């Protein structure tokens, strides 16, 4: 089963200046998933 990506948290981390790699590690999701969230936003 696929894991849900916490989109709001990812966007908050982005606003705070976190890198995609750091966001992916802290939320335990793939970097490509973080990139997908950025593209859709």
pLDDT recorded at residue 8: 95
Q: How far apart are CA 1 and CA 10, in angstroms?
A: 21
Contact of 5 with 37, CB cutoff 8 Å: yes
pLDDT recorded at residue 37: 94
Residue 1 lies in a domain: no
pLDDT tens, 6-17?
999 999 999 999
Residue 22 lies in a domain: yes
pLDDT recorded at residue 13: 97
- How many domains, in total, are found in the chain? 1
As a three-state string, the secondary structure of the chain is CCCCCCHHHHHHHHHCCCCHHHHHHHHCCCHHHHHHHHHHC
Residue 33 lies in a domain: yes
Q: Within the chain, which residues score under 50 in pLDDT?
A: none
Residue 24 lies in a domain: yes
pLDDT recorded at residue 32: 95
pLDDT recorded at residue 34: 95
pLDDT recorded at residue 23: 96
């Amino acid at each position: 089963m696929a894991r849900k990506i916490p989109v709001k948290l990812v966007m908050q981390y982005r606003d705070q200046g976190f890198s995609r790699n750091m966001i992916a590690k802290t939320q335990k999701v793939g970097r490509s998933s973080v990139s997908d969230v950025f593209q859709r936003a």
